[in-house]
Amino acid sequence: MASLSINFPILPTNPLPSSSNPNRLLPSSFSHLNSSPLISSSSHVSRSSLSLSRLSSRNSFVIELQTNKKKMKMNKASNHSIVATVNTKPELLKIMISGAPASGKGTQCELITKKYGLVHIAAGDLLRAEVAAGTENGKRAKEYMEKGELVPNEIVVMMVKDRLLQPDSHENGWLLDGYPRSSSQAKALEDLGIHPDLFILLDVPEEILVDRVVGRRLDPVTGRIYHLKYSPPETEEIASRLTQRFDDTEEKVKLRLQTHNQNVEDVLSIYKDVTVKINGSAPKEDVFVQIDNALAGLREQKKATFASVEVGI
């Protein structure tokens, strides 16, 4: 028998059980692990995050102790295997952010990653990178793209999952930008055990969004984005060469907003317990203050609720 002395985050809505039996913390299907000789020596793991999942094999289970330090595999002559990881950063954040076109999401993502060091993951960029790298998922996606078809959700979801499992995401936390965009994508992530600590929604009135999009212009030489009203070009020379995206018209942006609004409501129904709405119509500095307050509060809450529990295996 081995004893793991671990720390893991307990949310306020899930208080520690009153029973002194540590197995009360485990799903009933894992209770028999207490009598299984999986490890021959006693191990002590401090400041760890515990999660458990049942594998396809009838008697196969995985205990994951999330880590940013090292990963350990402990196997014994048994039908069970334990994968343990030590987490010394209980305050790591898992954030999703959503916003309509021209809501300022890109700007806020830059500010968030700069201050909190989160790994910024945008599904569109990820898709293009996978295709360019020629990965298995990228090859599958390319087949659909070359036919002019949408890449199936399951391919994109696996790309996102694989990216979230990379070491830098585990070590620094992550910011998932503009994804999931539909309830089916959100449910697929949930089925994979991917759930955010916070879902940020940038809330901007439609008339402001339309004004932002219609006045947007691109400098084809530098790639910089200007706005005729809010961020005009510095010189007449630059102004003369600016171009407008074909879909940055009032008619087309309203159609895009309609689609976005329909989809975001479905997504919010899944993340309603962790959603925070941010007034995105304010100046970008004020918008970030709202987001910063939410993230700082969340990080402090995660530290404060990090409890120590001894689990016998």
Residues 176-231 have pLDDT tens digits of: 998 998 899 999 999 999 999 999 999 999 999 999 999 999 999 999 999 999 89
Residues 243-283 have pLDDT tens digits of: 998 889 999 999 989 888 888 989 999 999 999 999 999 99
Does domain 94-207+250-303 fall under CATH 3.40.50.300? My reply is yes
Q: With a cut of 50, say whether residue 26 has pLDDT above it.
A: no
Q: With a cut of 60, say whether residue 75 has pLDDT above it.
A: no
Q: With a cut of 90, say whether residue 41 has pLDDT above it.
A: no
Largest Cα span, the chain: 78
- CA–CA separation, 253 and 274 (whole Å): 29
- The reported pLDDT for the residue numbered 63 is 40
Report how far Cα 15 is from the mean position of its chain's Cα atoms: 25
The residues carrying an active-site annotation are 105, 181, 216, 245, 256
What percent of the chain is predicted at pLDDT more than 70?
69
Place of tokens 């969004």: 209
What percent of the chain is predicted at pLDDT more than 90?
46
- The reported pLDDT for the residue numbered 138 is 87
Q: With a cut of 60, say whether residue 9 has pLDDT above it.
A: no
Q: How big is the chain by its Cα radius of gyration, in Å?
A: 23
Report residue 303's pLDDT band, with 50, 70 and 90 as the boundaries.
confident
Distances (CA, A) of 286 to 120, 151, 226, 276, 283: 21, 37, 20, 16, 5
Q: Which of 15-19, 67-71, 102-106 shows the lowest mean pLDDT across its residues?
A: 15-19
Domains of the chain by residue range:
94-207+250-303
